[in-house]
Amino acid sequence: MKQIAIIGGGITGLTAAYYLQEQIKEQQLPYEIKLIEASDQLGGKIKTVQKNGYTIERGPDSFLIRKASAAKLAKEVGLADALVKNGSGGSYILVNDKLHKMPSGSFMGIPTEVRPFLFSSLFSWKGKFRAAFDFILPKGEPVSDQSLGLFFRRRFGDELVENLVEPLLSGIYAGDIDDLSLMATFPNFYQLEQKHRSLVKGLNVMMPKKKQAKGVKKPSMFYSLKGGLQALVEAIEVRLNSDAVMKGVSVDQIERMDGRYHLSLDDESVYEADAVVIASPYFAAQNMLRQYTFMDAFNDMRATSVANVVLAFDQAAIKQDIDGTGFVVSRNSSYRITACTWTHKKWPETAAPEGKALLRCYLGKPGDEDVVNLSDEELEEIVLNDLNKTMHITDKPEFSVITRWKNAMPQYSVGHKERIHSVMEQMKEHTPGVFLAGGSYQGIGIPDCIDQGEAAVTKVLEYLKS
Ligand code: FAD
C-alpha cells in the first residue's frame, strides 16, 4: 500500500484529498491518503460564523462564477442547491472622501465603453484625456514581467490607476500595485496589449458586448453557499474517510530517505509517505524543506496582513443608506478602511435576517499593516468613524465579529511566476513526488486553489504509476 500525505487542510488540500480518494476508489488503486492539518479545524482561510440568524464570513465570502472548478466541486459534494448568486446592485469607489458610482462597462477598472468613463465623476478632464492615450500609445516592449502599476500607469496615466484600477486590484491582493506582478495576476492584459495594442480595443474583441435589455439586471459574478463557504469544507470533510484526516498536528520537516519521505510531526511522530502534496502557505513549505537551498527563493516573498470587522445593525439605524453592494477606498482618501461590503445586499438570501444590516469592512494596506495589532475596541471605533463619514449610523452595532489575518495574503511580486517555476523544477530533481499547491503559488482565488488541488492529484498519480 502506498501512502500519500497532503499537508494543509485548506481548500487546496481538501480538494486534493477529495479527488485523490475518488480516483483511488474508481481505479481501485493500492494507495492511502492522509490529510495533515495543523489546526483543529479544516478549511484554512474559509471560516463561517453563524450568529443570531446572520451568516458571517471571517475569510473569503464568495468565488468567481467565471472560473468553473469551485461550482463543479460544490455540485459534486451535494451542494448544487446551496449555490447562491450575489445580488447585483451597483458598487462605489471612495475618492477624495466622496463616493462615486463605478462606471458601467469596466473590467477590473479598465474601460470597455467610452461614454460611462467620459461622464464619470471619478476623474478630472485631464485624467480622462490621459486615459484616452490607450487608443494611440504603441504596445510596450515584450518583457518577462512588470508591475501592475507600471503597466497600467503607462497605458492610462496615474489618475485612472489611482482612482479605479488600484483600489480594485489592491483589494484582491491586499498589496501594492507597484510591486504586484502583472504576469502572475492578470497575464491576459499583457497578452491583450501585445496583440491589440490598446487594452480598451482588446477587451472589446475578447468580450464582445451583449446588448443588455433595459431593466434587466446585470448578471451576477460570484457564487456563495447557503450556510456560508464553510458548507463546502464540511461537505468535503464528511466525504473523506475518517481515518484519512489528522487534525491538530503540524508537519515540521520533510526528509527524503530511500526514495520515500519522512514527515516529522510536532507530536514527535514520523509519518512515512511515497508522495506528498504541500498545500500550506509558502513559509510553512519553506520551513518543511529548509535543508534545500532552492527553497531560499521564498526569502523574497512576503505575505501581508489584513483585518476584517463585521458589524450587525438594525437597518433602521442606518439613516443614510446607499443603493449598492459596497465600496472600495482609493489611497488618496483619508479613510483607514480599505473596503466595505453591504453584505445584506450582496447576499440578500443568506447574510442577514429581515430588517437587519450586516456591514463588512477591511483594514490593512501597505504602510498601514500594523492596524491588525490594534484592540477590538480600537478597530471597531476606526471603522465606525470612517463609516459615519458617508452613512449616518445612529445606533451602536448589535454585535461585531473581528478577524485578524496575519501574514495571510501572499504577495505575487514581480518575478513571482518565474520564482515558483524555478522552485518546482528544482523539486522535480531533488524531491520527486513532492508537489506544491495552493494560494501562495499559482493563484489565490478559491477556484485557482481548487484547480491546483486537482492538478496535484494528476501529478501524484502520474508519479506513483511511473
Ligand atoms: P489556506 O487556506 O491558507 O490553508 C492552508 C492550511 O495549511 C491551513 O489550514 C494551515 O493551518 C495549514 N498548515 C500550515 N502549516 C502547516 C503545517 N506545517 N502542517 C500542517 N498544516 C499546516 N478568495 C476568493 O476566491 N474569494 C474571496 O472572497 C476571498 N476573500 C479572501 C478574504 C480573506 C480575508 C483572505 C485571507 C483570503 C481571501 N481569498 C478569497 C483568498 C482565498 O481564501 C485563499 O487564497 C484560499 O482560501 C487559500 O487556500 P489554501 O488551501 O491554499 O490555503
Per the CB < 8 A criterion, the answer to whether 289 and 254 are in contact is yes
Grid coordinates of 430: 531533488
Measure 281 CA to ligand 1 centroid, in angstroms.
8
Measure 43 CA to ligand 1 centroid, in angstroms.
7
Measure 46 CA to ligand 1 centroid, in angstroms.
7
pLDDT of res. 110: 85
pLDDT of res. 210: 64
Q: Which pLDDT tens digit goes with each residue over 47-56?
A: 999 999 999 9
The pLDDT of residue 464 is above 90: yes
pLDDT of res. 215: 63
Measure 231 CA to ligand 1 centroid, in angstroms.
16
420-452 per-residue burial string, b: 16 or more CB within 10 A, e: under 16? beebeebbeeebebbbbbbbbbbbbbbbbbbbb
Mean pLDDT of 228-238: 98
Q: Which of 45, 48, 61 to mutate to test the pocket of ligand 1 (most atoms within 8 A of CB)?
A: 45
- pTM confidence score: 0.96
- Separation in Å, CA 29 to CA 2, 7, 26, 33, 36: 9, 21, 8, 11, 21
Closest CA to 423 of 303, 302, 300, 304: 300
The pLDDT of residue 367 is above 90: no
Residue 349's SS3 state is: coil
Sheet with 275-278, side-by-side order of all strands: 245-247, 31-37, 2-7, 275-278, 434-436
Complex confidence, ipTM: 0.99
Query: Mean pLDDT score of the chain, rounded to an integer?
Result: 94
- Phi and psi torsions of 112, nearest 5°: -115, -10
> Taking the CB of residue 259, how many other CB atoms lie within 10 A of it?
8
Atom of ligand 1 nearest to the CA of 45: 2
pLDDT of res. 465: 94
Q: Which pLDDT tens digit goes with each residue over 286-322?
A: 999 999 999 999 998 999 999 999 999 999 998 887 8
d(CA 431, CA 254): 10
Q: Which pLDDT tens digit goes with each residue over 235-245?
A: 999 999 999 99
d(CA 9, CA 283): 16
Which protein residues are within 6 Å of ligand 1, measured from CB?
7-13, 36-39, 44-46, 59-63, 250-251, 279-281, 284, 306, 308, 405, 408-409, 438-439, 444-446, 449
